[in-house]
């Protein structure tokens, strides 16, 4: 032990949104409405898929998992954030901060892995339509979901346990709206080289790999359509992959946009935009992207909630 005066940090201070006092209520209501929409939209989607037996296909079961992940991802940060908006000094206790970090990593990764599983599902549906039911069996579907959970649990656990070893003293101001991995490391007063190395390695593997796998499955889909170009094939590909492509673009578009845009000036503005896109807009839009463009979803909505007889389209 060194003889230095070491205060142990029991809570962190978070960033205050750079908004004027008179706009505060308006912005608060806006965030609240978006969060409630996220929760309700995703819940309706999950309930719909559970209740309507027409939707018990791999594509919709995976979508239901994605909705669950969206719902949880948004709930990791939004309640604390909304609560903190009402206070002068937004703070978060140490334990809550680590918990938030764990679930943020867990559901963030889960989302990107589920997008890969969904891309694989579309790849099989378009490239091997005759063998689709035998390849994408309920068992494979369950294994894919299980694998996603195992990988993300491991990753989130690894970083959270490593973070629990890091010592904090002195500075406890996190220049972020939630407990972010790299922001926390910048405040550490013990050695964080192992943490940084592992972030680099797992970050590369867990962010770049899913993206490449998704690109790969879409490359195969496009090349299989180009081999046998027919109006029907192209229409089918568009109608079954359109929603997935939109969701993937939204998810990775945000990440790429955040990392590629220059960060030297107004980083608070950038941080806010990133937070809003990640935590609110993406999880909020996913269920709408899937249900608005999709005849099966609309049919299910009618069947489940209004007890109408709507034929199922194949
Ligand atoms: C997730 O997917 C699995 C496997 O298909 C399915 O059994 C399960 O019901 C899904 N979970 C949710 C919440 O939709």
**pLDDT tens digits for 52-79?**
888 888 989 999 999 999 999 999 989 9
Q: Does the Cβ of 141 fall within 6 Å of ligand 1?
A: yes
251: CA distance to ligand 1 center in Å? 21
Kindly state the average pLDDT of the residues 93-121. 92
Q: Does the Cβ of 65 fall within 6 Å of ligand 1?
A: yes
More confident residue, 219 or 273: 219
User: pLDDT at position 293, please?
Assistant: 65
pLDDT band at 259 (very low <50, low <70, confident <90, very high): low
Candidate from 145, 148, 150 with most ligand 1 atoms within 8 A of CB, to mutate: 145
User: pLDDT at position 105, please?
Assistant: 92
Q: What are the phi and psi torsion angles at 148 (to 5°)?
A: -55, -45
The residue contributing the CA closest to ligand 1 atom 4 is 142
From 52, 43, 119, 116, select the one nearest 297 (Cα to Cα).
52
For 208-252, write each residue's pLDDT tens digit: 888 899 999 988 888 888 887 777 777 777 777 888 888 888 888
Which domains does the chain possess? 12-305 (1.20.1070.10)
Contact between 176 and 13 under an 8 Å Cβ cutoff? The reply is no
From 227, 218, 242, 252, select the one nearest 291 (Cα to Cα).
242
176: CA distance to ligand 1 center in Å? 34
The residue contributing the CA closest to ligand 1 atom 2 is 61
Q: Is the pLDDT of residue 314 over 60?
A: no
Q: Is the pLDDT of residue 183 over 90?
A: no
Q: Is the pLDDT of residue 305 over 80?
A: no
User: pLDDT at position 62, please?
Assistant: 93
pTM, two decimals, is: 0.87
64: CA distance to ligand 1 center in Å? 7
For 169-182, write each residue's pLDDT tens digit: 878 888 788 888 88
Using CA atoms, how far apart are residues 95 and 202, in angstroms rounded to an integer?
A: 24
Of 79-88, 94-103, 254-263, give the range with the top mean pLDDT: 94-103
Using CA atoms, how far apart are residues 83 and 86, in angstroms rounded to an integer?
A: 6
45: CA distance to ligand 1 center in Å? 13
User: pLDDT at position 37, please?
Assistant: 93
User: pLDDT at position 274, please?
Assistant: 77
From 250, 293, 279, select the one nearest 115 (Cα to Cα).
250
Using CA atoms, how far apart are residues 38 and 287, in angstroms rounded to an integer?
A: 8
Extract the tokens encoding 52: 């309507």
pLDDT band at 307 (very low <50, low <70, confident <90, very high): low
Q: Is the pLDDT of residue 4 over 80?
A: no
Tell which atom from ligand 1 comes closest to the C-alpha of 50.
14
Tell me the average pLDDT of the chain.
Answer: 84
pLDDT band at 309 (very low <50, low <70, confident <90, very high): low
Q: Does the Cβ of 142 fall within 6 Å of ligand 1?
A: yes
């Amino acid at each position: 032990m060194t003889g230095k005066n070491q205060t142990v940090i029991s809570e962190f201070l978070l960033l205050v949104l750079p908004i004027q006092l008179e706009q505060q209520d308006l912005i608060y209501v806006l965030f609240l409405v978006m969060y409630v929409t996220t929760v309700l939209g995703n819940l309706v989607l999950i309930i719909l898929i559970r209740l309507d037996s027409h939707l018990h296909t791999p594509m919709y079961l995976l979508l239901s998992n994605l909705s669950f992940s969206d719902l949880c991802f948004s709930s990791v940060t939004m309640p604390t954030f909304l609560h903190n908006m009402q206070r002068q000094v937004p703070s978060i206790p140490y334990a809550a901060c680590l918990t938030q970090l764990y679930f943020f990593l867990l559901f963030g990764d889960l989302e990107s892995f589920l997008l890969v599983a969904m891309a694989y599902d579309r790849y099989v549906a378009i490239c091997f339509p005759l063998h689709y039911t035998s390849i994408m069996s309920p068992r494979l579907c369950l294994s894919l979901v299980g694998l996603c959970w195992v990988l993300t649990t491991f990753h989130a656990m690894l970083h959270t346990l490593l973070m629990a070893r890091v010592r904090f003293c002195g500075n406890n101001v996190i220049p972020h709206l939630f407990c972010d991995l790299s922001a926390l490391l910048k405040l550490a007063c013990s050695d964080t080289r192992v943490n940084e190395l592992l972030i680099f390695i797992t970050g590369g593997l867990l962010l770049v790999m899913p993206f490449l796998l998704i690109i790969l499955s879409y490359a195969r889909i496009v090349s299989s359509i180009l081999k046998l170009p027919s109006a029907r094939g192209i229409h089918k590909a568009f109608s079954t992959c359109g929603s997935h492509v939109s969701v993937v673009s939204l998810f990775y578009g945000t990440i790429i946009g955040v990392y590629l845009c220059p960060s030297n000036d107004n980083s608070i503005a950038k941080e806010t935009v990133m937070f809003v896109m990640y935590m609110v807009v993406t999880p909020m839009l996913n269920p709408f992207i899937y249900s608005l463009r999709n005849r099966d979803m609309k049919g299910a909505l009618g069947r489940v909630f209004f007890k109408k007889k709507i034929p199922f389209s194949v």
